[in-house]
Amino acid sequence: MEQNWYRLDNAAVLYSALKKEKYAPVYRFSAVMAEPVDPAALQRAVDRSLPRFPSFRVRIRKGAFWCYFEPNRKPGPFVRPDVSNPCQPIRDREENDWLIRFYYYECRISLEAFHAISDGSGALSFFRTVLAEYLRERGIDVPPDPLLLDAAQPPEPEELEDAYGRYAGKRTLRGSLQKTAYANTSPREPFYTLNVTMGLMSAAAVKTRAKEYGATLTEYLTAVLLLSLLEKQRAERPPREKPVALAIPVNLRSWFPSQTLRNFLLTLRLSIDPTLGEYALEDLIRFVHHFMGLSLNRPEMRASITKNVAFTQNRLLRAVPLFLKMPILSFSYWLVAVRPYTATFTNPGVFRTPASMEPHIRRMEVILGQATRPAPHCAAISYGDTLEVTFAGTGTSSETERRFFTRLVREGIPVKIISNREEAT
Amino acid sequence: MSYCVNCGVELDATAACCPLCHTPVYNPAQPVDRDSPPPFPTQRGEVPPASRRELAVLISAMLGSVAVCCGLLNLVLRTSHIWSLYVIGAAGMLWVFLAPPLLWRRLPLPLAAVLDAAAVGLYVLLIAWEVGGLDWYLQLALPIVALFALTLLALSLLLGNGRRSILSSIALVIGFTGAFLAGLELLSDLYLDGVWRPSWSLVVLIVAVALEIPLVVVRRVPGLREEVRRRFHM
């Protein structure tokens, strides 16, 4: 029997507190197909897939003390033509309360999701099933595969679990407030504008270059981004340089086995102090490589999970009514998740599909939605040999992405740029 | 294909300038392709919404100016009654109906019902005072307004801010409408004749019951309920 309501996991609690009239943490995954999209087939695919994913078929409601999810039985979500300004806020009582959206444009199919319902890994599982169903609707034979969740099967209870609660231990990770990081902001665009710049390149070429430095693809891209931000801050000649810190979400499923399709991630803070001197790319790659190796260990990650869960289970906080709790959570988010970071860099990795789907998908794209301030976030995803890196933000400046992509070009990696910026079209 | 002379990146064939450094594309061998669709749509999804606060200010200004103008006009066009009071009262009542939901985005339905009923009650009181009819106000108008407010309050509490299914909501609205109309006839009979002689309200009540029974059956039987949901796209 379908659950009547779901408790929010601790990441969702924070994301729901941020949801306002003009802002909501919304991200987007897109698949660029080999042929133009058939909207009717896509709608049928969405309708067929959605019952298999009850955690995406929800709406968010406000209780006296906490928000909660309940099944959304309203019509939808309906696929619609894509827009130039993606990742718009999700508002109360609009769009039939759906927290996911589907768009199509030429060959591109896009899924947008409110971060409170799922992280990138869960959303990609859902998207993979929708794409498989879409191809089946188009008459392409996509046999069942372990990579795909069968839309005809009932959902597994484990897919709905709050994995944070399951793995939270007793000892929390002690830590003090982190230093304020370089904000990397620029004048804000008019409301609803999200400038998106994508760089398309060969995944093999980047991997080869990264290997030459003894690093993985993610470590290499992280170091290039750090260098771009360090150089940008230095070029701005501030009176005192601030640390450049990246938020790097880590998919916890690799360390703590879980089938959950809800949020199950942790954010690493990778910080460089520019006052210590000039960093070369090699220094940064070495730093990122060892930092990742040191930070990604089960006991520490478990202690971090416990700390986050303990925050939402704090007795004092639990007793505070929701209308008072929201500003407290919102301020906490700014204090611990906005102020100490310059940008977010996420790489969900390689999007894997069954071999039968591969000829029909040209590439994958990811957009990390808008930040709470006008600064770009960076995200990357690979499919086949195409690595796609996106910078998206509500600021007018394109300097961060310019420095990042031109650095890659100087490293000998050919990059193709596409953008939704009005001046580019 | 074109490359940015400044950044060295390859550009889309439809790009008129480099998205990174804004250097215009000038490639005599391959002019900018203005016929192919660009990589991203150009249609914006939504225009900035009118601020609810600004809308509330606009409504307040409109109603306020109507009230003030009529008040001033009444000073010139004098009659035996202060006619502008009706307009000023109506403007006040409309303001209570419209402004609080705009200023308070999640105004609870029961509170809105109480505010609206109070506004209607005060407006009718104003009319009663102006025409010297406090008797009918106290014995008929006030009880009707109170009955209406109670009905609305109970209904809004039971509907629970849209948490009930459409079928249950329709059943509740029909039931409460029947009950309110029966109460209306009771109050008017008591005021006019001193005794209750139910007539037309009985017809309304029977129609309401006749509508309620199939709705309750559909609501209770899961198979029927799903069929109705599917057919009416609920």
Structure tokens at A64: 């006296």
What residue of A is the nearest CA neighbor of B38? Answer: A425
B152 touches B112 (CB < 8 A): no
A425 touches A417 (CB < 8 A): no
Question: What's the pLDDT band for A115 if we cut at 50, 70, 90?
Answer: very high
What residue of B is the nearest CA neighbor of A425? Answer: B15
**What was the pLDDT predicted at A387?**
96
What average pLDDT does range B159-181 have in this prediction? Answer: 82
Within 8 A by CB and 6+ apart from A355, the residues are none
- Local structure of A413: helix, strand or coil: coil
Quick: pLDDT tens for A332-367.
888 888 999 999 999 999 999 999 999 999 999 999
**What was the pLDDT predicted at A322?**
84
What average pLDDT does range A112-134 have in this prediction? Answer: 95
| Residue numbers in A near B39 (CB within 8 A) | 198, 418-420
Given a cut of 80, is residue A217 above it in pLDDT?
yes
What residue of B is the nearest CA neighbor of A198? Answer: B19
A106 touches B37 (CB < 8 A): yes
Question: What's the pLDDT band for B231 if we cut at 50, 70, 90?
Answer: low
**What was the pLDDT predicted at A312?**
79
What average pLDDT does range A238-259 have in this prediction? Answer: 92
* Type of residue found at A163: A
Structure tokens at B5: 């002379």
Residue A378 CA: distances (Å) to CA of A96, A220, A337, B35: 30, 14, 16, 31
A253 touches A264 (CB < 8 A): yes
**A335 C-beta neighbours (distance < 10 Å), count:** 12
Within 8 A by CB and 6+ apart from A148, the residues are A128, A129, A132, A142, A354
DSSP letter assigned to residue B198: -
Quick: pLDDT tens for B55-111.
888 899 999 999 999 889 988 887 777 888 889 999 999 999 888 888 876 677 778
B98 touches B61 (CB < 8 A): no
What integer best gives the mean pLDDT of chain A?
Answer: 91
> Of A64-68, A235-239, A339-343, B161-165, which gets the smallest average pLDDT?
B161-165
Quick: pLDDT tens for A79-105.
999 999 999 888 877 788 899 999 999
A112 strand-pairing partners: A28, A101
**What was the pLDDT predicted at A66?**
85
B166 touches B157 (CB < 8 A): no
> Of A48-52, A145-149, A419-423, which gets the smallest average pLDDT?
A419-423
| Residue numbers in A near B16 (CB within 8 A) | 423-425
* Type of residue found at A3: Q
Nearest CA distance, A146 vs chain B (angstrom): 32
- For chains A and B, count residue pairs whose Cβ atoms are closer than 8 Å: 110
**What was the pLDDT predicted at B102?**
83
Interface of B with A (CB under 8 A): 4, 7-12, 14-22, 37-49, 105-106, 163, 165, 229, 233-234
Among candidates A410, A415, A423 on the partner chain, residue whose Cβ is nearest the Cβ of B17: A423
A331 touches A317 (CB < 8 A): no
Before A77, cis peptide (omega within 30)?
A: yes
Q: Give, in degrees to the nearest 5, the angle at Cα B127 between B182 and B79.
A: 145
Q: CA-based Rg of chain B, rounded to a whole angstrom? A: 30
Q: CA-based Rg of chain A, rounded to a whole angstrom? A: 21
- The span from the CA of B230 to the CA of B222, in Å, is 12
Given a cut of 70, is residue A157 above it in pLDDT?
yes
* Numbers of helices and strands, H then E, in chain A: 11, 15
**What was the pLDDT predicted at A264?**
93
Q: How far apart are the first and last CA of chain A?
A: 51
**What was the pLDDT predicted at B167?**
79
Q: Do B40 and A88 touch (CB under 8 A)?
A: no
Q: Is 0.90 exceeded by the ipTM? A: no
Q: Do B19 and A105 touch (CB under 8 A)?
A: no
Among candidates B7, B41, B42 on the partner chain, residue whose Cβ is nearest the Cβ of A405: B7
Residue B61 CA to its chain's centroid (Å): 20
Quick: pLDDT tens for A401-416.
999 999 999 999 999 9
- Local structure of A425: helix, strand or coil: coil
- Local structure of A105: helix, strand or coil: strand
Higher pLDDT, B129 or A387: A387
Q: Which residues of A375-388 are buried (b: 16+ CB within 10 A; e: fewer)?
A: bbbbbbbbbbebbb
Quick: pLDDT tens for A171-193.
887 777 888 999 999 998 887 88
> Of A54-68, A342-356, B162-176, which gets the smallest average pLDDT?
B162-176
